[in-house]
Amino acid sequence: MNRTAHSYLRILFLALVGLFCFCYPFAVIGVAFDVKPPFSLDWAGSFLLFLEGSILLLAATFFSAPVRVLYAGACVIVLSYLVETLGVNTGFPFGIYHYTPVLLPRLPGGVPLAVMFAWVLIVFGGYGIVKRQPSNQRGMNVGGALSGAILATLLDLAIEPVAAHVVLYWQWLHQGSLDYYGVPLQNFVAWFVVAFVLVGLVHVVLRQRRNAFRVSPREQVVWKNVQKMGKVERLAMLAPGVLFLCSLFMFGLVDLTHGYYWGAVCALCAIVIILIVGSWLAHD
């Protein structure tokens, strides 16, 4: 990537981060405390998901070749769309559910495009957090992918009560013999497996391989030498963890204010795990 394109990328990244910082407090207050504005915000949930996913894709281009990031993002979007479409139309692997008209736009098969960007947030966010662990900086192993999948599942445990009962993004049509606030437990098993596969796939696509893609100079950045990075690069490095934490905080708070206390506990557990990872980095 030439210097001009890199400058435009920095400007776009900062603009999207600024937009997120403006929108996020309104989303949290509005949903957590049932604050209804005098105008329709039916589009707001979809917009925030598109914004968060786009920020993480842009952030990844600071540390991997853009073509790799596009390929990894496309893999997450296409594969998550396929598994979500399979789930909506067959009940496998998540259970029997359907999406309401709240999230937009609706793709063939009954799955909103915004859901694919939610998967980008979950997968790239979890991958970015796990990748920053000292043990994973040179090459993420199976344990790293499992850690990312655990974080993703804890986030889903916080999301489900809110999405199914508060903002009504989707509805579960059959709880099964074991359920969690009306959500079948098989959903979380499937969520863990899908997240594990996608986090591992993103790692395979983004890792350095000499003859796979043209290597960007920014791929030579060593994670421990954070002080040598520019301010925008530092912000891009922090973006996965920060956005993941923001999602956990928002859904955990909504769970708490609406009486879904186990969802709040799961969000808190994930936040503690992420903060522990951060403390390892600070002392490494």
- Do residues 117 and 267 make contact, with C-beta atoms less than 8 angstroms apart? no
Q: What's the pLDDT score for residue 236?
A: 95
- Do residues 56 and 241 make contact, with C-beta atoms less than 8 angstroms apart? no
Quote the CA–CA distance of 53 and 119 in Å, as a whole number.
8
pTM over 0.75: yes
User: φ, ψ for residue 22 (rounded to 5)?
Assistant: -75, -45
Closest CA to 75 of 60, 95, 93: 60
Strand ranges inside 174-263, DSSP E: 179-180, 183-184
Tell me the two tokens of residue 111: 């799955």
Name the 3-class secondary structure at 37: coil
Q: What's the pLDDT score for residue 142?
A: 85
Give me the number of domains the chain comprises: 1
Residue in the structure block whose two tokens are 């920020």: 55
Please, which residues have CB within 8 angstroms of residue 281's CB and are 6 or more apart in sequence?
A: 132, 133, 134
Quote the CA–CA distance of 107 and 111 in Å, as a whole number.
5
Name the 3-class secondary structure at 64: coil
- Answer positive or negative: Cα dihedral of 142, 146, 147, 152: positive
**3-class secondary structure per residue, 91-131:** CCCCCCEEECCCCCCEECCCEEHHHHHHHHHHHHHHHHHHH
Strand ranges inside 131-202, DSSP E: 170-172, 179-180, 183-184
How many Cβ atoms from other residues are within 10 Å of residue 201's Cβ?
Answer: 17
Q: Where in the sequence is the domain holding 268, given as residue range(s)?
A: 3-283
Tell me the two tokens of residue 137: 């900086």
- Answer positive or negative: Cα dihedral of 123, 241, 140, 216: positive
How many Cβ atoms from other residues are within 10 Å of residue 46's Cβ?
Answer: 20
Sequential pLDDT tens for the chain (284 residues)? 667 887 899 999 999 999 999 999 999 999 999 998 877 777 899 999 999 999 999 999 998 999 999 999 999 999 999 999 999 999 999 999 999 999 999 999 999 999 999 999 999 999 999 886 545 545 567 888 999 999 999 999 999 999 999 999 999 998 877 899 999 999 999 999 999 999 999 999 998 543 333 444 444 443 444 445 688 999 999 999 999 999 999 999 999 999 999 999 999 999 999 988 765 544 44
